[in-house]
Amino acid sequence: MPIYEYRCTSCGFQKEHLQKMSDAALTTCPSCGGDHYTRQISAAGFQLKGSGWYATDFKGGAAKSAPAAAGGNATPPCGGNCACHPS
């Protein structure tokens, strides 16, 4: 079950609630009793662990590039005939 964050726009009270996805959104503030208790948008809280596809395929960071030619005049991947490398 997901955890939803709620905030009352009247009194500023905030709280997390564990609810089913099919449950109706809460509307009554448990602090002031007002009907301005709204669900907030928040980031998902999960973490990838273990040695699965994430660790082997994506966890390493930046892709490895080809070694530069001697003298430092390596040809860019685009071939040099583009808007970023005018000839």
Domain boundaries, the chain: 3-39
CA–CA separation, 82 vs 16, rounded Å?
51
pLDDT in tens, the chain (87 residues): 788 899 999 999 999 999 998 999 999 999 999 999 999 987 776 666 666 665 566 666 555 555 544 555 666 667 666 666 665
DSSP alpha helix (H) spans, the chain: 53
**Type of residue at 75:** T
13 in Cβ contact with 5 (< 8 Å): no
> What is the CB neighbour count within 10 angstroms for residue 83?
6
Q: What beta strand segments (E) does the chain contain?
A: 3-8, 14-18, 37-39
Indicate left, alpha or beta for 41 from its phi (over 0: left) and psi (-120 to 50: alpha). Answer: beta
